[in-house]
Structure 1
Amino acid sequence: MTLNILSEGFVPLLLAASAFFVGILAGLFFAYSVSVVLALKTFSASAYTIVMQSINNAILNVAFGVVFIGSIAVPTVSASVVLLQGDWTSQYGPLVLLGTAIYLTGTIAVTMNIHLPMNESIATWSPASPPDDWTTVRTRWARWNHVRAIAAVISFVIYLSAIVSTLS
């Protein structure tokens, strides 16, 4: 027995909203990986510190906040609907659950557990005398950004696949 929470026509809309939010952050993290990370490799320690501090301050804005929270909330609601309606055996259900798991683990958990603590540390650095291990931090930050970018892109593609499967 399934609990029909939403009309069948609303499910593709909910999945599209999930893909929208996840896709925006996939694009952000991908663009960062293929441009900003490469530029940051060319900077001196003090320039790296100044730029990273500036980026980390600038990204804390309303638009990013709405998209970041939306990219957590909407896919979580989508996965909850799949579970509550018993749709995990449908064509789209497993895709939604997989896409959400990959996104929340590979993108959000990485951001919260790796990037935020590093950003908080970088915020304390003095541009005049960054720590001796600043290149290690830069390399680690970049590596984990690649991980979250890949996870977000994979999740986005999975959500698109889920949408297509609801239309057939």
Structure 2
Amino acid sequence: MLSLTIRYFSISSTLLLGLMAGFFATYSFNVNYATLALNGEMYAIVQSLFNTNVRHPGFFLCFFGAGAMSVITGLLGLVAKEKTAKIWIAIGITYVVGIIFFTRFVNLPLNFYTETWNPMDLPADWPEVRAKWNQANLFRTVISFGLFSTATFLLASPSQQSALPET
């Protein structure tokens, strides 16, 4: 029973990690490039709208859930003496540090700064702030894709396959 629970948690963790990797990648490779074509006034308006509209329960569930579910998967695996348990814990800790803490200390201060801008009277450093934000989001894209790839690999590992119910 515990191995089946671990299987469900590992699938859920992987799905959440994949959603976040896709979110960050979509932003890095579509939205960021599109905003490069905007003048300062439009960039300030659009970036502020993105920052405001991403604050909803679905995003928060995925954003925080990806790290939490990965750690829980690992802890359950430790109880069951699963070979992949420590890797799941490492995925969760890396997500918390590389995505959540990084967002808190890098992206959010940039968001808060851009939200103070008057689109009609931008600060002189607005292009540099945009570049810093885009670089920070690309960092989150790389980290989240690596974690999602690792989780996907773990799902295919023999120890996880043995957790499948008999048919």
The two structures share one fold, judged by TM-score above 0.5: yes
TM bracket (short chain): 0.7 to 0.9
CA contact (8 A) 1:95 1:161 kept: no
TM-score, structure 2 as length reference: 0.88
Q: Percent identity?
A: 24
Tell me how far 1:69 sits from its aligned partner.
2.6
Question: What letter is aligned with 1:167?
Answer: Q
3-state SS of the aligned residue for 1:60? Answer: coil
Q: Unpaired runs of 5+ in structure 1?
A: 1-5
Alignment equivalent of 2:92, drawn from 91, 100, 103 = 100
CA contact (8 A) 2:67 2:93 kept: no
CA contact (8 A) 2:28 2:141 kept: yes
Alignment equivalent of 2:103, drawn from 111, 119, 134 = 111
CA RMSD for the aligned pairs? 1.6
Question: What letter is aligned with 2:9?
Answer: L
TM-score, structure 1 as length reference: 0.87
Q: Unpaired runs of 5+ in structure 2?
A: 163-167
3-state SS of the aligned residue for 1:125? Answer: coil
1:36 maps onto 2:31 in alignment: yes
Is 62-71 or 123-132 further displaced after alignment? Answer: 62-71
CA distance in 2, matches of 1:9, 1:86: 14
CA contact (8 A) 1:78 1:96 kept: yes
Cα separation, partners in 2 of 1:93 and 1:72, compared to 1, 3 Å = closer
3-state SS of the aligned residue for 1:8? Answer: helix
Alignment equivalent of 2:76, drawn from 76, 81, 87 = 81
Tell me how far 1:105 sits from its aligned partner.
2.1
